[in-house]
Amino acid sequence: MSALSSSQAPSPLVFLGPAFAFLVVMLGTTLPTPLYPIYQAEYGFSQLVITLIFAVYAIGVIGALVVAGRWSDQLGRRPLLLAGMLIAAVSDVVFWLGDSLGWLLLGRMISGASAGIFTGTATVAVIELAPNAWKPRATLAATAVNMGGLGLGPLVAGVLATWLPTPLTLPYALHFILLGVGMALVWRAPETVNRAAKLDLRVQRLHIPPEVRRVFVPAALVGFAGFAVLGFFSSMAPAFMQTVLGEQNLAVIGLVVCLVFFASTAGQSLQGRVPPAWRLPLGCLTLLAGVALIGTGIFTHLMAVFGCGALLAGTGQGLGFRAGMGAIAAASPADQRGSVTSAFFVVAYVALSIPVVGIGLATHWLGLEATGTGFAGLAALLCVVALVKVRRITRQLV
């Protein structure tokens, strides 16, 4: 398989194909978020089980990242992208056929595996396929597509569940069709790396090259704090909005979750207006303000305050995430870019899962209101710690 040479400038259409596929795959991973109340009524499980469902998804993501994170550097980007979409389609079929909690757990694990295969590979592929005129914004495009897809999932599922029949089937049918379009576009896209003469498909060790570590550490600190908040909105936020804040409309719930991820995209777009030395610290500060408002909204039962906190937290997460992601991509050797990017997403998905498990356990014993307020306080503390650490080393990134 011959790779796209540096003299061949990719066309915008070639770039948009994998970007669309990236958006579709990530959209599928958050489709169930506003549907959890329906699943609860259908299968009769508790809030603690929602934590288990999300943990199973995270296991699928992290497992795929660790096992296949460096495969695209060996096999090429396109085969891994196609494999990720095929696995996502399998998860859709499992959700269609499912009629019990066991099927739901299986579908979430398979969906997680598709995200794990796709995330690192697609991020690098979108950056590499960007036309020359778009190169300065290629990292923004990759991370914006990622977050945009994650945000659209709850919105699409919430709207379909509110106004159309078969809410546990229709969202996955639509996603299945979109995946077919995405696969056709990726099939026609050029390859950007040469297939290795001697394949080395061993399980990836989470090793960061020495020249990348000074960039990776601050990016990981900010990324962990931001993704912990995203994990909260991807899993438990619908329960808080329904039970504590009194919002029963699934379309509104899906919209609030969507706005967190869209605010992340907006935050990423602000990076060029912020001096390099302030990008990670400003992301931390904005995220800190957001989680403070989230906790206040839960404590006072005010949906407007909670929503404002969601917007601020998403903006801070996006600003810090793009700053870290761009620095990591620039510092990584070309032949290790896929594996280093995957390592960063391992950190991100650990942050998505472990705090959510803690939230679920705490909810079981303390109730939703106390748990939500406590989570916001702990997230704020993590932001403060990250801010202190980042300020000590962020000048190295200038």
Least confident piece of the model among 332-341, 364-373, 380-389:
332-341
- pLDDT of res. 397: 47
pLDDT of residue 2 exceeding 60, the answer is no
Tokens of 43: 């299968």
| 206 close to 66: Cβ distance less than 8 angstroms | yes
Residue recorded with tokens 């500060």: 285
- DSSP 8-state class, residue 130: S
C-alpha distances (whole Å) from 394 to each of 223, 266, 385, 398 are 14, 22, 14, 7
Q: What percentage of the chain exceeds 70 in pLDDT?
A: 89
- pLDDT of res. 204: 60
C-alpha distances (whole Å) from 188 to each of 25, 87, 113, 185, 223 are 18, 19, 24, 5, 33
Is the Cα dihedral 39, 253, 96, 357 positive or negative? negative
More confident of the two residues 26 and 274 = 26
More confident of the two residues 322 and 258 = 258
| AA letter at 124 | V
According to the per-residue pLDDT averaged within each range, which of 62-66, 93-97, 98-102, 331-335 is highest?
93-97
According to the per-residue pLDDT averaged within each range, which of 187-201, 244-258, 265-279, 304-318 is highest?
304-318
- pLDDT of res. 394: 54
3-state secondary structure of 214: helix
Least confident piece of the model among 20-24, 35-39, 123-127:
123-127
Mean pLDDT computed over 219-226: 82
- pLDDT of res. 287: 92
Residue-wise pLDDT for 82-130, tens only, equals 999 999 999 999 998 888 899 999 999 999 999 988 887 888 888 888 7
- pLDDT of res. 398: 47
- pLDDT of res. 1: 40
Picking from 22, 25, 126, 117, the residue whose alpha carbon sits closest to that of residue 65 is 117
| 266 close to 273: Cβ distance less than 8 angstroms | no
- pLDDT of res. 5: 47
Beta-carbon count within 10 A of 300 CB: 13
pLDDT of residue 15 exceeding 80, the answer is no
Residue-wise pLDDT for 157-199, tens only, equals 999 998 998 999 999 999 999 999 999 998 888 777 766 666 6
Q: Which domains does the chain have, with CATH numbers?
A: 12-193+207-397 (1.20.1250.20)
pLDDT of residue 28 exceeding 90, the answer is yes
Least confident piece of the model among 36-45, 62-71, 89-98, 99-108:
62-71
* Displacement of CA 241 from its chain's centroid (Å): 21
| 51 close to 360: Cβ distance less than 8 angstroms | yes
| AA letter at 105 | L
Which stretches of the chain are DSSP H helices? 12-30, 36-43, 47-68, 71-75, 77-97, 101-129, 138-163, 170-188, 210-235, 237-243, 250-269, 276-300, 303-331, 337-366, 368-393
- DSSP 8-state class, residue 100: S
pLDDT of residue 338 exceeding 70, the answer is no
pLDDT of residue 383 exceeding 50, the answer is yes
Return the percent helix, strand and coil in the chain, to nearest 5.
Answer: 85, 0, 15
Beta-carbon count within 10 A of 136 CB: 10
Spell out the residues 6+ positions from residue 350 whose beta carbon is closer than 8 angstroms to its own.
Answer: 58, 62, 224
Q: What percentage of the chain exceeds 90 in pLDDT?
A: 26
Tokens of 391: 């300020």
pLDDT of residue 205 exceeding 70, the answer is no
Picking from 281, 282, 241, 280, the residue whose alpha carbon sits closest to that of residue 260 is 241
C-alpha distances (whole Å) from 139 to each of 126, 127, 152, 216, 268 are 8, 6, 20, 16, 9
Beta-carbon count within 10 A of 351 CB: 22
Tokens of 168: 């546990």
- pLDDT of res. 200: 61
Q: pTM for this structure?
A: 0.79
Is the Cα dihedral 361, 367, 369, 370 positive or negative? negative
Mean pLDDT computed over 42-63: 84
Mean pLDDT of the chain: 83
C-alpha distances (whole Å) from 315 to each of 210, 226, 250, 263 are 30, 10, 23, 5
